[in-house]
């Protein structure tokens, strides 16, 4: 039977103190850290799912540890279940997120080929809740950042109401990803989407660091970021 004590015991049995110290410098969370590497958490998630006990695990409260939250996110995103249930589960899980890594690892774990996903992630992105909005943006950039989606992506960006660093970073990352897939498309977004100068600078910075963006685009993005 899963409970908070069993969860802590299993996570502590996989503790990596060195990793805890290293990763703690990269993230900012209110959860207590144990120090479990992501590949280890992914393997544990597979075990819990295959055991059939994943629903029981996801119901465990309180969520005290950072790794408990991340493990719950991986399971929520990767378990096979009806589409409507998965979307609702992700929405509910967003309430547990207080850190970019938990959000983004959850998004990268998402297994869903339903045709409705893009539209639902656009709805997520329009939320005034930061982490729900970031889930929407990160899933879109990971799965739908293509030229044929450009108009819808622009509308999505224009409809963002959540604010703050983690939203700005996600939008900049999305624009860079669009450009990496289709030269000129991300530049188009920089010029036409309703984004702040801060987001333009983030997008230009991410393009500068990307091996998949042309030198021409990097130069043009840098010029746009300088415009007032």
Number of domains the chain contains: 2
**Domain C-terminal end among 89, 113, 137:** 113
User: What integer pLDDT is reported at residue 228 of this predicted model?
Assistant: 62
* Shared domain check, 124 and 89: no
**Of all residues in the chain, what percent carry a pLDDT higher than 90?**
93
The pLDDT tens digits of the residues spanning 115-162 come to: 999 999 999 999 999 999 999 999 999 999 999 999 999 999 999 999
* Shared domain check, 220 and 121: yes
Residue among 64, 79, 59 at smallest CA distance from 11: 64
Domain hosting 103: range is: 1-113
* Signed CA dihedral, 38, 2, 4, 55: sign only: positive
* Shared domain check, 164 and 76: no
User: What integer pLDDT is reported at residue 131 of this predicted model?
Assistant: 98
pTM for the full model?
0.95
Higher per-residue pLDDT: 27 or 43? 43
* Shared domain check, 126 and 109: no
**Domain C-terminal end among 64, 83, 113:** 113
* Shared domain check, 223 and 153: yes
């Amino acid at each position: 039977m899963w409970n908070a004590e069993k969860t802590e015991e299993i996570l502590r049995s996989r503790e990596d103190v060195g990793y805890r110290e290293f990763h703690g410098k990269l993230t900012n969370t209110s959860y207590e850290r144990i120090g479990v590497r992501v590949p280890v958490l992914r393997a544990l998630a597979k075990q819990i799912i295959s055991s059939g006990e994943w629903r029981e695990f996801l119901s465990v409260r309180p969520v005290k540890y950072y790794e408990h939250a991340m493990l719950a996110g991986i399971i929520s995103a990767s378990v096979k279940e009806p589409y409507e249930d998965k979307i609702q589960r992700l929405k509910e899980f967003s309430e547990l997120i207080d850190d970019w890594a938990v959000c983004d690892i959850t998004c990268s774990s998402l297994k869903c080929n339903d045709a409705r996903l893009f539209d639902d992630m656009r709805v997520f992105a329009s939320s005034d809740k930061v982490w729900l909005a970031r889930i929407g943006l990160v899933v879109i950039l990971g799965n739908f950042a293509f030229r044929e989606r450009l108009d819808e992506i622009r509308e999505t960006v224009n409809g963002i109401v959540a604010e703050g660093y983690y939203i700005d970073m996600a939008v900049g990352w999305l624009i860079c990803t669009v450009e990496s897939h289709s030269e000129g498309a991300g530049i188009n977004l920089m010029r036409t989407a309703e984004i702040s100068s801060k987001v333009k600078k983030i997008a230009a910075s991410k393009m500068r660091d990307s091996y998949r963006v042309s030198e021409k685009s990097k130069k043009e993005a840098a010029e746009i970021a300088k415009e007032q």
